[in-house]
Chains A and B, each alone.
Chain A
């Protein structure tokens, strides 16, 4: 075997090893979550409020509901802007604005989520003078927009022009062609983007610390502090009680299951469905 071939196969082995080391933490994390979390997950965990320190049992029902409420708010705020903006990016013939929006969206996507939290704090918490579900939902919606925007753009681009031309040729106005022909054709792909974004915001903790704040009770309205699953996990994890640590592992197992389900739904939505060319 020549030395060049030897180098080549050595590099194959080395890169293969780095791929293995790169995915190893995932297996370790999932393993620990299952081992430490599964024993504390039961029906009570999903149906009950947290118990005070020292009392065993209790659950995170309020936190799950709180997370769902804020994800709903985020989708309500972010989806219309994200999808309309994405359609604009795909269809516009303007020279400068689309480039700028694309660039800004990608940069916003990399802005630390804790900074987004400060933004929502100045926008909602300061004027209202209290922490609220609204502020948390807005922070999450802000994170959702760039993700939905860019996937929608990509998916609308994939819709073949012949479909648009067929609609326009029938005398259908452009806006109806977009709403009734283009968007339905791109629906699966856009849904994927939305699920990816939901998976991302479902696990966000930092932007909720000083917007939603957390709450040990059921939520009492959108203008009140609200619990969230990631916040609850954080509070339990840094507390000095063994029982709370168990709850943290269980909560993390539930959270990661939800996140993976959302990611999986995103994949299934587009499986085998590439838009015809």
Chain B
């Protein structure tokens, strides 16, 4: 702004006509250019609005017909035209929280190691591997899940859990391999890189003076991390975990391939389940009646609203440590 006004100041006192014309030209070009850029920014806003509106519009039939009951009934019968989303909501929540239960300790540990405790030379290669892990496509995780993870769970992990912790209802029933546990494990593998890299950025954004103060009063490396770094970055770390939760809630392909796709609410983690994203993936092209499509779109709308809430909260928390320009993406 300052520079612009300086360049205009040169032409301010009785400019010759040619100069005036050029100045007007400059103004016009800049205005047009600025308008184009602002337009692009508005398009992003409009896309978000259009996304919610389009889904809401396509889901209107199911919203009107089923009302709140949609969320609390568990019959899913396309032939009879009865739709209730409870089994899918249940499956989405259970698989996502199971994934977090596995992924959070691992990711925070890895992030602390990478940002605070590891020797300098070992950080770049491990950070690189974790970035690569985030780049693996979902369908590849699913393929690996079907042919490697599921048989391993079926033959080793589930029999072991059944014999050692079988008194809990969580680990009862026949070990199929395919089911909620497989979905949770594959999701955990998929969200670990997200939580790790965002947490690492949050930890790196903690000012060095925090660490120096703690080290200066004789704290060990771990005490410094615990007292000065983790406490300072706490809200950002919660944000990182929520980002992972957002990913886990909306993840589709890998989960669809290993969860078993059965719309039932079962307590055992060995039993097959179904998630909101997988029912859309599996049934959308087969949905013949309008109310069927509408019910599936309503599930999509629910998923959208949940992930917007989770992600919105996560961003605000991550930004609170590093500021909007730093970190928190990918």
A57 within 8 A of B: no
A111 within 8 A of B: yes
Q: Which of A12, A19, A98 contacts B126 (CB 8 A)?
A: A19
Interchain CB contact under 8 A, A213 and B137:
no
- On chain B, the residues within 8 Å of A150 by CB distance are 329
- On chain B, the residues within 8 Å of A16 by CB distance are 113, 117-118
Interchain CB contact under 8 A, A81 and B220:
no
- On chain A, the residues within 8 Å of B18 by CB distance are none
Interchain CB contact under 8 A, A256 and B250:
no
Interchain CB contact under 8 A, B47 and A164:
no
- Taking CB atoms and an 8 Å cut-off, the chain A residues in 143-186 that contact chain B are 145-147, 149-150, 153-154, 157, 164-165, 168-169, 171, 173-176, 178
Contact A260 B135, CB 8 Å, known A18-B105, A19-B113, A19-B114: yes
Summarize B's interface: helix, strand, loop or mixed.
helix
Q: Interface code A90-115, partner B: CB below 8 Å = 1, 0 otherwise?
A: 01110001111111111111111111
B156 within 8 A of A: no
A167 → B minimal CB distance (Å): 9
User: Interface stretch among B161-169, B204-212, B262-270, B301-309?
Assistant: B301-309
A25 within 8 A of B: yes
Q: Which of A11, A12, A171, A199 contacts B7 (CB 8 A)?
A: A171
- On chain B, the residues within 8 Å of A19 by CB distance are 109-110, 113-114, 118, 126
User: Interface stretch among A44-52, A58-66, A116-124, A268-276?
Assistant: A116-124
A17 within 8 A of B: yes
- On chain A, the residues within 8 Å of B132 by CB distance are 26, 260, 263
Contact A213 B285, CB 8 Å, known A237-B142, A237-B146, A248-B143: yes
Interchain CB contact under 8 A, B142 and A206:
no
Interchain CB contact under 8 A, B137 and A142:
no
Q: Interface code B108-142, partner A: CB below 8 Å = 1, 0 otherwise?
A: 11101110011000000010011111011111111
Interchain CB contact under 8 A, A88 and B41:
yes
Give the CA-CA distance A72 to B330 in the complex, in Å.
23
Q: Considering the complex, give the chain A residue whose CB is closest to the CB of B36.
A: A84
Give the CA-CA distance A63 to B317 in the complex, in Å.
41
- Taking CB atoms and an 8 Å cut-off, the chain A residues in 8-43 that contact chain B are 8, 11-12, 14-19, 21-23, 25-26, 28-29, 32-33, 36
A255 within 8 A of B: yes
- On chain B, the residues within 8 Å of A114 by CB distance are 250, 252, 277, 280-281, 300, 303
Contact A206 B277, CB 8 Å, known A12-B117, A230-B139: yes
Interface residues of A (CB under 8 A from B): 4-5, 7-8, 11-12, 14-19, 21-23, 25-26, 28-29, 32-33, 36, 80-81, 84-85, 87-89, 91-93, 97-116, 118-119, 121-123, 142, 145-147, 149-150, 153-154, 157, 164-165, 168-169, 171, 173-176, 178, 196, 199-200, 202-206, 209-210, 213, 230, 233-234, 237-238, 245, 248-249, 252, 255-256, 259-260, 263
In addition to A109-B329, A111-B304, 14 A-B residue pairs with Cβ atoms within 8 Å of each other are A8-B221, A19-B126, A23-B130, A28-B148, A87-B37, A93-B1, A103-B312, A109-B330, A111-B307, A112-B252, A112-B277, A115-B250, A118-B300, A203-B137
